[in-house]
Amino acid sequence: MIKHKQRVSKACAKEETWVHNIQKYWPYYLMVLPGLLFFVIFKFIPMFGSIIAFEDYNIVGGFLDSPWVGFKNFKTLFAYPDFKKILMNTIILGFCKTILIFPIPILLSLMLNEIRQQRLKKGIQTAIYIPYFISWVIVGGLVFDFFGIGGFFNNIRDMIGLKPVLAMQRESWFRPIFIISSIWKEAGWGTVVYLAAISGIDPSLYESASMDGASRFQKMRYVTFPLLVPTVVTLFLLNIGGFLELGFDQVYNLQTPMTYAVSDIFDTYVYRVGIQQAQYSFTTAVGLFQSVVGLGLVLIFNKLSQKTSEGGLW
């Protein structure tokens, strides 16, 4: 009886604390509310639509009256002749984005932090931020113009005596162009979080390093970077969940029929089959497959990160 009363009193105390925190910090909760509504409306509620991956969905029958087919759509996906090619293309581009592109904002933020002239630093930041606000439709057009017959790339080749190359129509050029365009457009914006984390480092640590005779490079290596690692690990775990979800916009606006063999990924495949052919159940199965793989990767890498001193997401 006494233990029960203690549990009740603890529960009441927690509830009072929770209510007190809301009353005290209500402006902050109000600021968080739009973000929570976004995730509820556009992330959590649509999850119920995943049920059509196990149905032969039709618009007339809807969710409730469409016939149940179990794992038929998944079997169709795995038996699809081009499944291995699409999976391999997605894995290769995902690997490029994770291993080759992800570290670039870290390096940029470390270099920007070493610039002491504020005007120069802000000018460089602005220059590398701007491409992020340009849509992939425009970026795709710029890339096609840049690598076109009369573009800057082929003009340079002509000046040094080389023949023009239709780079956008060659399979061997697609992945390098994908990597370069990703870095140019998104790497600058990725430095925002890292620079914010660097600005929160205690200045006394740098003063202590200076007293010990550390150079600027040594300060960056032994002070800045180690304290930046927890942020890097967190962002890596958040990004690894979308390993198979590379983004439809970039690939679709850069690929051509001649590069389908290396550029066709799950996102572009879902567009052709789901939107153009109205196979909603099948494409939902593809999306669910991507999500399950992403969840598995997050769980695996989070477990691995917990074995280090940096911890993980939970």
Kindly report, residue by residue over 3-51, the tens digit of the pLDDT. 544 554 555 555 567 777 888 888 888 898 998 999 899 888 888 888 8
Measured CA distances, 95 to 33, 98, 191 (Å): 35, 5, 20
Nearest partner of 269 among 313, 99, 255, judged by Cα: 255
Between helices 225-240 and 280-306, what is the axis angle to 10°? Answer: 150
Q: What is the pLDDT of residue 277?
A: 78
Q: Of 239, 219, 234, 196, whose CA–CA distance to 310 is shortest?
A: 234
The 3-state DSSP class for residue 282 equals: helix
The reported pLDDT for the residue numbered 89 is 92
pTM, whole model, 2 decimals?
0.82
CA dist., res. 138 & res. 238, Å (int) = 27
Distance CA(308)–CA(305), nearest Å, equals 5
Q: For the chain, which ranges sit under pLDDT 70?
A: 1-16, 308-314
Q: Taking the CB of residue 62, how many other CB atoms lie within 10 A of it?
A: 11
- Closest-CA residue to 243 (of 45, 101, 39, 53): 101
Phi, psi dihedral angles at 55 (to 5 degrees): -125, 165
What is the pLDDT at residue 23? 82
pLDDT of residue 1: 54
Give pLDDT, residue 37.
Answer: 93
Rounded Cα distance, 97 and 242, in Å: 10
